[in-house]
A and B are shown apart, each in its own frame.
Chain A
Amino acid sequence: MQYSILLLFLILTALSALVFTFVFISSKKVGISGQGLSNPLQKRFWFLLILFVVLGIFASVTIPRSPYFLFADEVPARVVHVAARQFAFLLSDKAIDPENPEGKDSIEFLANELVEFRVTSLDVNHGFAIYNPSNRLIAQTQAMPGYVNRLRWKFKEPGKYTILCLEFCGMAHQVMRSSFTVK
């Protein structure tokens, strides 16, 4: 996913750079005899129209695939409670008591079962980001104090998944992590 995004971006970038270079060269070439436009701020209706149609299509294709609608009409096989705090994640099959927070040492899922993470925070905002065994970010949500975010996902590949914090939470933010296994 990420690399196709990068590719798309690089192609668009190359196109824009080409257009700008081409336009620049055309201005260099024309010499003093050229006329140019008296006011470039003129009607560009078709240009904007194309922009909007392209983006409209883009939006209507992508919005229904937003994470809020993922697996919404299925019943999860597993529910895991996640409590983030400076600077660790607690994961547990049971609800986590903020007065006496405890997590399980190891969590395992079966491949292709629907897992629901109920993510909250015991102190500041944290991020809850899941990296697959080849360390690619595949899904994430935020951990916000006072709220529970529900993230549903099916893990296809077996292996060790890493959880990293993706919201800056203080000086040990970069070592805040956890993991689980998919069999």
Chain B
Amino acid sequence: MESIKLRKITSLWILIVLVLFIVNIVLGILMRLNQGEIIHQSPITFYANMTTHGLTQIGIWFVAGMAAVNYLLQRYVKTSYSANVVAMVLTVIGILMLWSSTYIGKFHAGWTFLYPLPLRIMWAKWATPMFFGSILVMGVGWLTWSVSMMTQLLKKYPLTRALAWQHFKKNPSTQTPPFILITMITLIGIITCLLGAVLLLAMYSAEYFSNGTFVNDALLMKNLTFFFGHTIANEMLYLGLAVIYELFPEVGGRPKWKTTWYVALAWNCTLVFILTAFFHHLYMDFVQPVGFQIVGQIASYMASLPAAGVTVFSVLVAVYRTPIKWSLTNLLFFIGVAGWVIGGLGAVIDVTITNNFVLHNTLWVPAHFHTYNALGNVLFSLAFFHWFSIQFTGGIHKEKFTKLILTLLLIGGIGFLLAFYIGGAESIPRRYSNYPAEFPMAAPLAAGAALFATIYLIAILIFFFNISKRCLNVLFSPS
């Protein structure tokens, strides 16, 4: 009974995420078309699209990861259905508020809403509180969800065991499944950065309601903004990784992976270093003390490398000369890991201060984060979606279009991303609605990217039609 309810809400999550994703890709294509001078939108529309696209993408792939983890967590502990519902309702309300602020109110301060831009009203007056309200509403929903999941986890696993500390000793008496370990680490990170968002919103509202008597410190606000923004974008990826650790061996018909001291150490490292890695967003703020800049560079390496090293290597070793039942699910996982590694390489290059000096806020930035999202984390979630959708077909489903979907995803994705990377190398700024004459290559690159993004979109559409039927079946099946 309980699990049927969970099943239904999970398929509803999948449908919501995919529909919003399709809308979002269209927004992305519109942006590239505008930059490519194929269509002509006002800069305000462009930046409103950009703000909407950015925050909605972060939102949906975050909840996609959460929904997947919630579903799989049911195998280990009982999770709260109502927290799941609360999160869904608040996410949907939040997204609607966001869209009304950007499209009716014309709010367009970018998804990172860097202080003090949102307070310099260049849109409807109510749009700023509406935008912050949307973040608050979603934040509260997600906080409820993650705290509830964490509580359930801790009921079964004591804290030290959830963090797999017993694996630091020789021959641990109990096992912590890697899925539990990663989920626990990620939930702590998520709660931390959501609390950061609450603090940030409090500082904003203090200034907003004080009629100019209270002014925030721009440096602190920027630190807080990226503490939240960077961290949530990273944790979102870890949710996807938790799913890989759980499902990749299973789907391939291999024995389950087991935690070793190695894995425990790597992920515990992540827990600590992820919280200071965001300093790399402030490299070009020379006012940030140099010590913090260096901490930023080292922590950024440390936050990603151990976990990435362990995961990537494990996935490779798990596949190397091993008979595996390949399906769309684990192919998506496998390609996603490759995309994640490649995006990670782009990130490590950019996170090195000397390189950042000439790459900061150029198209290199969207290049690398779109790599580990559009060809990384998104594929992890799609893999879960696909796996989920065929759980309840009684084994009678036939995989159609697997090759087609993957080919289109790869061609579309690589072409779209390459345009960003070349743009970055050409020093083309990010977040420009129209490119100045100094960059003759910028517009053609953008137009080409729009074309490739359309190919990517087609793949997503095929995928969507394939699994939406099955998800709707689950949703409307008699309980």
Query: Contact residues of A with B, CB < 8 Å?
Result: 1-3, 5-6, 8-9, 12-13, 16-17, 19-20, 23-24, 26-45, 47-48, 51-52, 55, 58-59, 62-63, 65-68, 86, 123-125, 127, 129, 131, 135-142, 144-151, 162, 164-175, 177
Q: How far is the CA of A38 from the CA of B314 in the complex (A)?
A: 11
| B262 contacts the other chain (CB 8 A) | yes
Shortest C-beta distance, A84 to chain B (Å), equals 13
Q: How far is the CA of A30 from the CA of B355 in the complex (A)?
A: 43
Annotate B261-300 by CB proximity to A: 1 below 8 A, 0 otherwise. Answer: 0110010000000000000000011110010011001100
Q: Which of B255, B294, B324 contacts A38 (CB 8 A)?
A: B255
What residues on B are CB-neighbors of A12 within 8 Å?
Answer: 342, 345
Closest A residue, CB atoms, query B324: A27
What residues on B are CB-neighbors of A20 within 8 Å?
Answer: 316, 334, 337-338, 341
What residues on A are CB-neighbors of B436 within 8 Å?
Answer: 164, 174-175, 177
Q: How far is the CA of A3 from the CA of B44 in the complex (A)?
A: 33
What residues on B are CB-neighbors of A62 within 8 Å?
Answer: 352-355
What residues on A are CB-neighbors of B310 within 8 Å?
Answer: 41, 44, 48
Q: Which of B117, B258, B427 contacts A169 (CB 8 A)?
A: B117
A63 touches B334 (CB 8 A): no
Closest B residue, CB atoms, query A170: B122
Q: How far is the CA of A169 from the CA of B431 in the complex (A)?
A: 10
A27 touches B323 (CB 8 A): yes
Shortest C-beta distance, B303 to chain A (Å), equals 12
Q: How far is the CA of A35 from the CA of B318 in the complex (A)?
A: 11
Annotate B44-83 by CB proximity to A: 1 below 8 A, 0 otherwise. Answer: 1001000000000000000000000000000000000000
Known: A12-B345, A63-B294. Contact between A27 and B425, CB under 8 A?
no
B359 touches A124 (CB 8 A): no
| B319 contacts the other chain (CB 8 A) | yes
Shortest C-beta distance, B215 to chain A (Å), equals 9
Known: A27-B319, A41-B258. Contact between A168 and B114, CB under 8 A?
yes
B322 touches A30 (CB 8 A): yes
Known: A6-B425, A17-B342. Contact between A166 and B262, CB under 8 A?
no
B316 touches A67 (CB 8 A): no
CB contact list, B321-371 vs A, under 8 A:
321-324, 326, 334, 337-338, 341-342, 345-346, 348-349, 352-355, 357-362
A2 touches B425 (CB 8 A): yes
Shortest C-beta distance, A32 to chain B (Å), equals 5
Known: A2-B427, A67-B286. Contact between A9 and B346, CB under 8 A?
yes
Q: Which of B115, B352, B438 contacts A162 (CB 8 A)?
A: B438
B342 touches A6 (CB 8 A): no
A63 touches B353 (CB 8 A): yes
B309 touches A135 (CB 8 A): no
**Can you list 11 pairs linking A and B with CB atoms under 8 Å apart?**
A6-B422, A27-B322, A31-B323, A36-B254, A43-B262, A124-B114, A135-B438, A141-B284, A162-B438, A167-B361, A171-B122
What residues on B are CB-neighbors of A35 within 8 Å?
Answer: 322
Query: Contact residues of B with A, CB < 8 Å?
Result: 43-44, 47, 108-110, 114-117, 120, 122, 178, 217-219, 222, 249, 254-255, 257-260, 262-263, 266, 284-287, 290, 293-294, 297-298, 301, 305-306, 309-310, 313-324, 326, 334, 337-338, 341-342, 345-346, 348-349, 352-355, 357-362, 421-422, 424-427, 429, 431-436, 438-439
Q: How far is the CA of A90 from the CA of B421 in the complex (A)?
A: 32
B262 touches A44 (CB 8 A): yes
Q: How far is the CA of A174 from the CA of B263 in the complex (A)?
A: 46
B321 touches A36 (CB 8 A): yes
A5 touches B362 (CB 8 A): no
Q: How far is the CA of A173 from the CA of B50 in the complex (A)?
A: 13
What residues on B are CB-neighbors of A40 within 8 Å?
Answer: 249, 257, 313-315, 317-318
Closest B residue, CB atoms, query A31: B323
Closest A residue, CB atoms, query B113: A168
Known: A20-B316, A166-B361. Contact between A9 and B345, CB under 8 A?
yes
Closest A residue, CB atoms, query B343: A13
What residues on A are CB-neighbors of B297 within 8 Å?
Answer: 59, 63
Q: How far is the CA of A55 from the CA of B344 in the complex (A)?
A: 13
A27 touches B320 (CB 8 A): yes
- A-B contacts besides A13-B342, A59-B298, A139-B358, 12 pairs, CB < 8 Å: A3-B425, A12-B342, A24-B334, A34-B322, A42-B260, A59-B297, A68-B290, A140-B361, A142-B286, A145-B116, A174-B434, A174-B436
B422 touches A144 (CB 8 A): no
Q: Which of A2, A19, A30 contacts B358 (CB 8 A)?
A: A2
B43 touches A139 (CB 8 A): no
Candidate in B318, B346, B361 with the most chain A CB atoms within 10 angstroms: B361
Which 7 residue pairs are nearest across A and B when measured between Cβ atoms? Answer: A36-B322, A137-B427, A40-B318, A6-B425, A166-B361, A174-B432, A149-B286
